[in-house]
């Protein structure tokens, strides 16, 4: 029996440096532009004659060598804004010309499960709810710590717990009048309770020999808040077979205006190892063949460094990883010629909505037109 396709979305929050992640090592302009925030010649991880990974992306080279990693070059949108908030809104809602309120993953969730038959069709791991997942009437579970997730779980006697949950659910329906608004709030609350009740079982079903390196690193949020902890939690839920089709999480800290060289190295060291551990975990448990992970950031960073870091840029890079992925380069590295730059930045040459459309249609089997708001060129990075 064929497995349902699953999509994992990993957001690199802050604006990942395209230049130092995929190093254009055969182009001398790279070394001319980057005086201090540069990967020294010969220290990159070569992937072909013209490109190399950041040294701390070494764990990802196995996916590239196996043909299971796609690099999507020059991703972005016209008239790039260099605001974190506006740019991320655009990526989340696919609305570059107005302020959108519906997220693209939320729309896709509604298309897959229009009757809300599964409150866990989409699960976010991290604090808050990214706008990409927001959609009226669409339940999304947002989990900060899978090990301690649940509501009133300390009450073990069934009847007592049901009464307590019923009382708790009324908190989601404050006395603001009768009608659709209150009904909607009540529905969201009850969906959250159902999701919490189900998700708390996932860790009990989980078994793996993979030791996620990121879970033992010191972070502000502890092990559960590290990128390794988040991807391990995604693996738990995926392997529990709860019917989740979309997973979303973030790797924070890519706004490297200062101290970039050590900070970017640490971010890619933890991120690359976590991705490698995640897929090793899935393969160990025969759970990898239907999973694609896409990795994106809101924009790249400027071609010229500011001495200790780099400022907000335009064109960026995205990745797709997994067994269903046809590995290789897609689109082209934007021109580095000074006359081709836009305000000192790499010019986007590949609309991000085409990147989304590809995985939505070719992997998830959905019509992407309504999800991304139009028809955009797709790149064949999913195996036929």
More confident position, 50 or 158: 50
Assigned fold of 6-146+214-372:
Alkaline Phosphatase, subunit A (3.40.720)
**What average pLDDT does the segment 297-322 reach?**
97
**What average pLDDT does the segment 238-245 reach?**
95
Using 50, 70 and 90 to split pLDDT, how confident is the model at 198?
Answer: confident
More confident position, 155 or 54: 54
Confidence at residue 219, expressed as pLDDT on a 0 to 100 scale: 37
**What average pLDDT does the segment 240-253 reach?**
96
More confident position, 345 or 179: 345
Confidence at residue 218, expressed as pLDDT on a 0 to 100 scale: 36
- Closest by alpha carbon to 251, among 239, 236, 269? 269
Whether 48 shows a pLDDT value over 70: the answer reads yes
**What average pLDDT does the segment 193-201 reach?**
74
Burial class (CB in 10 A: 0-12, 13-18, 19+), 181: exposed
Whether 175 shows a pLDDT value over 70: the answer reads no
Whether 215 shows a pLDDT value over 50: the answer reads no
Confidence at residue 174, expressed as pLDDT on a 0 to 100 scale: 47
Task: Calculate the average pLDDT of the chain.
Answer: 88
Confidence at residue 200, expressed as pLDDT on a 0 to 100 scale: 80
Confidence at residue 40, expressed as pLDDT on a 0 to 100 scale: 97
Each residue's pLDDT tens digit, 69-128: 999 999 999 999 989 999 999 999 999 999 898 999 999 999 999 998 998 999 999 988
Confidence at residue 152, expressed as pLDDT on a 0 to 100 scale: 43
Confidence at residue 132, expressed as pLDDT on a 0 to 100 scale: 96
Confidence at residue 368, expressed as pLDDT on a 0 to 100 scale: 98
Confidence at residue 149, expressed as pLDDT on a 0 to 100 scale: 65
**What average pLDDT does the segment 271-283 reach?**
97
Confidence at residue 163, expressed as pLDDT on a 0 to 100 scale: 58
**What average pLDDT does the segment 327-355 reach?**
97
Residue ranges covered by each domain of the chain: 6-146+214-372, 150-199
Confidence at residue 224, expressed as pLDDT on a 0 to 100 scale: 65
Confidence at residue 181, expressed as pLDDT on a 0 to 100 scale: 41
Confidence at residue 15, expressed as pLDDT on a 0 to 100 scale: 97
Confidence at residue 52, expressed as pLDDT on a 0 to 100 scale: 98
Q: How large a percentage of the chain has pLDDT more than 70?
A: 84
Confidence at residue 166, expressed as pLDDT on a 0 to 100 scale: 55
pTM: 0.89
More confident position, 195 or 39: 39
Whether 156 shows a pLDDT value over 70: the answer reads no
């Amino acid at each position: 029996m064929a497995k349902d396709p699953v999509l994992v979305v990993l957001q690199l929050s802050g604006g990942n440096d395209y230049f130092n992640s995929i190093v254009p090592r055969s182009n001398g302009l790279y070394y001319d532009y980057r005086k201090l925030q540069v990967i020294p010649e010969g220290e990159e991880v070569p992937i072909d004659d013209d490109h190399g990974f950041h040294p701390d992306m070494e764990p990802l080279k196995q996916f590239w060598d196996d043909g299971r990693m796609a690099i999507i070059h020059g991703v972005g949108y016209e008239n790039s804004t260099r605001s974190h908030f506006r740019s991320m809104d655009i990526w989340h809602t696919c609305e570059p010309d107005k302020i959108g309120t519906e997220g693209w993953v939320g729309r896709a969730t509604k298309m897959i499960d229009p009757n809300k038959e599964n409150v866990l069709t989409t699960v976010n791991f991290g604090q808050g709810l990214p706008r990409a997942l927001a959609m009226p009437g669409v339940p999304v579970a947002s989990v900060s710590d899978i090990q301690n997730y649940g509501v009133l779980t300390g009450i073990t006697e069934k009847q007592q717990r049901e009464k307590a949950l019923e009382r708790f659910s009324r908190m989601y329906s404050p006395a603001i009048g009768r009608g659709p608004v209150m009904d909607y709030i009540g529905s969201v609350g009850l969906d959250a309770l159902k999701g919490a009740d189900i998700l708390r079982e996932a860790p009990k079903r989980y078994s793996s020999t993979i030791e996620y390196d990121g879970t033992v690193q010191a972070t502000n949020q502890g092990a559960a808040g590290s990128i390794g902890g988040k991807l391990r939690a995604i693996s738990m839920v995926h392997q529990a077979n709860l019917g989740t089709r979309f997973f979303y999480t973030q790797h924070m800290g890519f706004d490297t205006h200062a101290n970039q060289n050590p900070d970017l190295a640490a971010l890619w060291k933890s991120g690359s190892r976590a991705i490698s551990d995640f897929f090793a975990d899935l393969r160990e448990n025969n759970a990898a063949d239907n999973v694609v992970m896409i990795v994106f950031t809101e924009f790249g960073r400027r071609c010229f460094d500011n001495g200790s870091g780099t400022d907000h840029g335009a064109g960026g890079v995205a990745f797709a990883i997994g067994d269903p992925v046809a590995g290789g380069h897609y689109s082209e590295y934007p021109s580095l010629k000074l006359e081709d730059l836009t305000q000192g930045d790499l010019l986007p040459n590949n609309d991000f909505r085409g990147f989304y459309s590809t995985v939505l249609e070719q992997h998830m089997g959905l019509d992407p037109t309504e999800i991304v708001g139009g028809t955009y060129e797709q790149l064949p990075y999913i195996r036929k």
